Chains A and B, each alone.
Chain A
Amino acid sequence: MEALDLRSLLYVETVNSNLICCICHTPFVDPVVIESCGHTFCRSCISQAITSRPTCPVDRSRLSDVSELKPASKIISNMVNELLVHCPNNDLGCNYQGQRQLLNCHFKEGCMFTIIECCNEGCQEAIFKKDLTSHMEKCRAKVIDHEICKCKVQLGTLEGHCDSCPMKHIECPHCCTTLPQSAIDVHLEECPERLSTCLYAEYGCSWAGRQRDLLEVHIPSCPFEPLKDFFITYKQRNEILEQDNKQLRTTVQDLNKTVTSLQNQLSSISDWLASMFPSHFLNPDNTITTSERPPPLLTTHELLLSENEHFKNDIETLNVNLTDLELRQNVALMTESLRTQEEIQNLKNICHSLRMQMYYLLMERRGDEPSVRNVVNTSVARSGLTGSLVSGISGTNGSNLSEADVLTTTIRPPGPNIPSSVQTLRKFGSFVPDSPRQEKL
């Protein structure tokens, strides 16, 4: 039973605030007073508080030692001890109210609402103290004496015990005498009224009758009785044979196992051989079952022949492919060279046009020197390339000049505003698509 915690008590009336500890906010428990300042606290509250800070919690005056705590005056402790409180088992149903100092006595001994455990072994039921007597009467773990056998039985198992109690009396079904349960098995074996068969029933005697008649009446007249000794030897032999039979069976089983393992070994060896000499074991099933299998040499020959055939076919296909590829290559080459020729022709045309342009310019300069020189000078200033062009053109031969002459007159008649040679070049570039050769395509 746990100790009573006076701090969690429920007080019957509102307690005067002077009796309340200002640390735990409950009426003082074991009040002590700080001698120097006169403040009162519960002993446990103030001792806990001064371990973290050695001052009076109310006025912060220093407290050098626990010895400065003195028990509060008798009147204060009497007042708190006489406060009326409810029993802590109030919520369980105890209506006790009394002085706090008497509560411990009530709680420990008098309170009927304290929860206790049944002390009978194997019960441990939690019950109110007030219910203990009524529980004890019906506790299933209570030990009682069985009236018949006088043995100790738990109340809860009494019913089961009555059925199996060794002193329970049972009537013999054959002779109608009643016997205790413990003796009935022995009696059933030897009950004289029991129905029984002949001792030699297993050898063929069909006699059936009461036990008491068996030995006295039947056995002396039983036709199997004289053969008793023969039966014994016969039975012994039979047993020996059975034993032998059992041993033989196990031997056969062992042999079977050996055969299986040998078969496994054989197949793994033949597998290995097949992987080593594939030509000899092309078809392992056939080699075993068919007797007229062709000699291995012939098979190899045929194989080589068929492989040869394969190669031939492959070469033929390759040849066809090669011809095809050649053809395609030729066509591609032709188209490509045609295009290149055209390109060259175009470039030639441009060259002609340029040449004749230059020629035209030179001609004009000869006729009207000052104005044309101006134009050429500016163009030279603009690009060095033009300069080299001009010098190149000036050194061309006579036949080219005459050819250019004809073309100039047809393509471009002379005009008053001649653009700079750079512009001319650009213009000729744009002429190219219009050339007669391209139109033909």
Chain B
Amino acid sequence: MSTTLFSKRLSKELIDLKINPPAGIEVAESDTFKCWKLSLDGVEGTLYAGERFTLEFRFTPNYPMESPEVVFVGNIPIHPHIYSNGHICLNVLYNQWSPVLSVRSVCLSIQSMLSSCTTKEPPPDNNHYVKTAKASPKQTQWSFHDDSV
């Protein structure tokens, strides 16, 4: 039952993203229901204008009940909530996930997180985190101090 929900929901999301893509977001790779790659363009008039980043989504068969694993790959944006290994400190990806969220809404949240940035600098604990972090950001014990961003 959950596997049919998983694949039906993802195919619906994919069709929706392809037919009606949000501004600056594009599906780059979606060969399987395990891993997708989406390109994310920096919004004009923000610090990231003209830059293009790639987000990698990894789904478990429990999606959408369980959150997808979302990281930046390749060119990693310099941002106080994004670590240089691509991990993103964003509560909806972890403890604040809800099955009503989708790939589209996650992309839009990350895009707005980038757009609202005022200084391009890495997180203060970047070096320590990158050294100690596990491969999946979902294994990190996140504490979210700044819910506004």
Contact = CB atoms under 8 A, between A and B. Distances in A.
A57 B1 contact: no
Contact of B4 (A7, A25, A52, A58): A7
Interface residues of A, number: 19
Given A49-B65, A52-B66, A57-B98, A26 B12 contact: yes
A44 interface: yes
Given A23-B64, A48-B2, A57 B100 contact: yes
Interface in A1-52: 5, 7-8, 22-26, 44-45, 48-49, 51-52
Contacts of B64: 23
B12 A22 contact: no
A7 to B, nearest CB: 6
Given A23-B99, A25-B13, A45 B8 contact: no
Given A48-B2, A52-B66, A58 B8 contact: no
Interface residues of B, number: 18
B8 A23 contact: no
B5 interface: yes
B65 A25 contact: no
A26 B98 contact: no
Nearest to A52: B65
B2 A23 contact: no
A251 B13 CA distance: 92
A405 B8 CA distance: 125
B95 to A, nearest CB: 9
Interface of A: 5, 7-8, 22-26, 44-45, 48-49, 51-53, 55, 57-58, 60
9 contacts: A5-B4, A7-B5, A25-B9, A26-B8, A48-B2, A51-B65, A52-B62, A57-B98, A57-B100
Interface of B: 1-2, 4-5, 8-9, 12-13, 16, 62, 64-66, 96, 98-100, 102
